[in-house]
Every structure is written in structure tokens, then in C-alpha cells.
A = this chain, B = another copy of it.
Amino acid sequence: MSLQDLSSSMAPAVELELKHAVQLLDSVSTKEFHEMLTFHMGWSGEGAGPDAQGKRIRPLLLLLTTCACGSDWKPALPAAAAVELIHNFSLVHDDIQDSSDLRRGRPTVWKKWGVPQAINVGDALFITAQLEAMDINQSYSSDISLQACKLINEACLQLSRGQYLDISYEKRANLSLEDYWPMISGKTAALLSTSIQVGALLAGVDDARLEAWRCYGHYLGLAFQIQDDYLGIWGDSALTGKSTVSDLVAGKKSLPVLYGLAKNGKFARRWSTGSVQPDEVPELTGQLTEAGAQLYTQQIADQMTELSLQNLRLADPQGEGGDALFELTRMLLNRQA
């Protein structure tokens, strides 16, 4: 069975579990509130459907890991839904914090219903994530369930640290390449890594193997984010679906940008004078490439990919779940979009 086969049975089961969790907000007096949640999740409203739902990478990684550790993935569904809900809580708040109008091609929650309700929608997703995480107890012991809940909330703490750094960087002029790592470790790697770790925990692996799984996820997260940063500048906008100019215009402190700033040349001088206009993007992209930022970013992405795959081998994934994980990892890290 390939990744395609496995994920085509997992994906609908995840979606069902997610709907079950969000259902908690569905009552006569909170119909509209429930609608806000289902809109964000991609199930209702204009443009609803798979594209609006996002990739659901975290639950997929969690379930494949459980599977690759020799366990049935179905009892792990509440955990899978929990990490996806955590991810979506952070997206809803992130969109307010970044003043983003669009998410997956549709209006963001705050754009559609205002900031006060959007804050509350994010909170509600976070709360349903917690309740879903506690449902792990339906199939696993209370000890294991509490351990999983703790891991998930420790990832949230990292997420919130990363978010603090991201927001604070907007006003900082003296950023160095080193400032990049704590931010993306928190914002991207922590939850990906925890999804995988929880998948392995539920399968009952020992501590040493659990650590290998954690490291696999950590480096996968870093590689994934760096790839994203790369595509945000040199990606083909026809494939990524978002304007490739956006990362420079949005002033995002991505790895290529921090590299360019560290070089202290043309790019850094221009960057320090204020926001980048869309028509300057080709020239600034050229300056970054010349400064060596493209090569550097690609090399770091390759290193992280290599570390991720090394740890995946060390974690010793088994059977079709294992094959699918290798396939998914390569796919995520070689993507053009």
C-alpha cells in the first residue's frame, strides 16, 4: 500500500473526527459561531472543499507514525484531530496578527466577522483541540493520554514563543541569522515534531526511539519551513498559488532575507530604508541571488532534509506506514509549491 492508498483512507477519517470535535459548538443559540468555525475549516461557505481545508499534514504524519510503529492508526484519530485543531487555532490568530486578508484563497475569519469574533473562533478551536486530546483516553490509558496532552501543550508553548519572536522581529533592525532558528523552531517545527512524537508515543515505542522520532519531526519542520522561505522568493507563483513577491513585500524575516541582511550589501541597504514595493521585487530578488542567499538557503534546506531522513531511518519505521512516511517526507521536501 502506498502513501496514496494510506492517506486516502486516513484523510476522510480525520475529517470526520475534526467535524465531530467542532460539532461541540453547534447549538441553536450558537449556529453562527459554529458556521465561523466550519468556514475556517473549509467545510462551509463560498469556496468550501479540499483546497480550502489545507493539506492536513500534521494528522497525516501522526497517523502514519503510529502505523510505522506497528500499531493501528484508528484509535489515534482524536490525537490527530487535536494537532490539526491546534494548527488551525494558530492560523486564525496569526491572520489577525499579520492583518492577512486571505487564507487558502478565501477571506480570513477576522476579515469576514471582525477581530473580536475571530479571536474567539481561534480560542474555540484551541479549546476543542484540548477536549479532543483528552479523548485519546477513549482508547489509551490515562497515563499515556496525559503524557500526550502534555506534549501537545508544550508544543503550544513553543508556538507562542515563536509567535512572540515573529511579531517582535517586525520592529527590530539588528536581526542576525541566529535569530531565525528559535522563531521557526517554535512556529513550525514544534507542532510538526510533536505530532510525530505523539504518534509514536501512542504506539508504545521506548524512549530512545521516541527521541529519534522527535528529531525526525524537528528537522522535517525546519526543512519544510526553509523550503517555504525559498519558494516565497524563488518559487513559481503559478505553482505555489500565492504571489512570489509577497514574502519580500510583506517584509517577512525569512532565511534568505536574514542572510541578505547579514551580508550588509545592496540588499541590506535597500531593506533598511523601508517596505519593499511590488515593482522592486525582481531587482531585490536578483540582489539576494547575487549575494549567495539562494545557494545558502538551498544548502541549509538540504542539510535539514538530510538530518530529517537520518533520524527517520534511526526511528526505524516499519511496513507500509514506514514506506509512506519516506515517500511523504521526500514529497514535502522536494515540493515546488
Contact among B29, B96, B143, B165 for A115, CB-based, below 8 A = B96
Contact among B27, B32, B115, B165 for A30, CB-based, below 8 A = B165
How many angstroms from the CA of A123 to the CA of B94 in the assembled complex? 11
A116-127 CB mask vs B (1 if < 8 Å, else 0) is 110110111011
Select from chain B the residue with minimum beta-carbon distance to A146: B142
Select from chain B the residue with minimum beta-carbon distance to A155: B127
**Inter-subunit contact A93/B119 (CB<8 Å):** yes
The verdict on A163 contacting chain B, using a C-beta distance below 8 Å, is: yes
How many angstroms from the CA of A142 to the CA of B136 in the assembled complex? 13
Select from chain B the residue with minimum beta-carbon distance to A123: B160
**Inter-subunit contact B120/A96 (CB<8 Å):** no
A89-108 CB mask vs B (1 if < 8 Å, else 0) is 00001001110000000000
Contact among B29, B117, B130 for A167, CB-based, below 8 A = B117
How many angstroms from the CA of A116 to the CA of B168 in the assembled complex? 10
Given A131-B150, A149-B134, A150-B131, answer yes or no on A117-B164 (Cβ-Cβ < 8 Å): yes
**Inter-subunit contact B93/A120 (CB<8 Å):** yes
| CB of A67, distance to nearest CB on chain B (Å) | 25
How many angstroms from the CA of A15 to the CA of B122 in the assembled complex? 28
How many angstroms from the CA of A83 to the CA of B191 in the assembled complex? 25
How many angstroms from the CA of A142 to the CA of B141 in the assembled complex? 9
Interface size on A, residues (CB 8 A): 45
CB-defined contacts of A160 to chain B, threshold 8 Å? 25, 120, 123-124, 127
A135-164 CB mask vs B (1 if < 8 Å, else 0) is 001000111011001100110110011011
The verdict on A43 contacting chain B, using a C-beta distance below 8 Å, is: no
How many angstroms from the CA of A131 to the CA of B130 in the assembled complex? 11
How many angstroms from the CA of A142 to the CA of B116 in the assembled complex? 36
| CB of A109, distance to nearest CB on chain B (Å) | 12
How many angstroms from the CA of A27 to the CA of B167 in the assembled complex? 17
**Inter-subunit contact B154/A131 (CB<8 Å):** yes
How many angstroms from the CA of A145 to the CA of B149 in the assembled complex? 12
> Chain A residues in contact with chain B, CB under 8 A?
24-25, 27, 29-30, 32-33, 93, 96-98, 115-117, 119-120, 122-124, 126-128, 130-131, 134, 137, 141-143, 145-146, 149-150, 153-154, 156-157, 160-161, 163-165, 167-168, 182
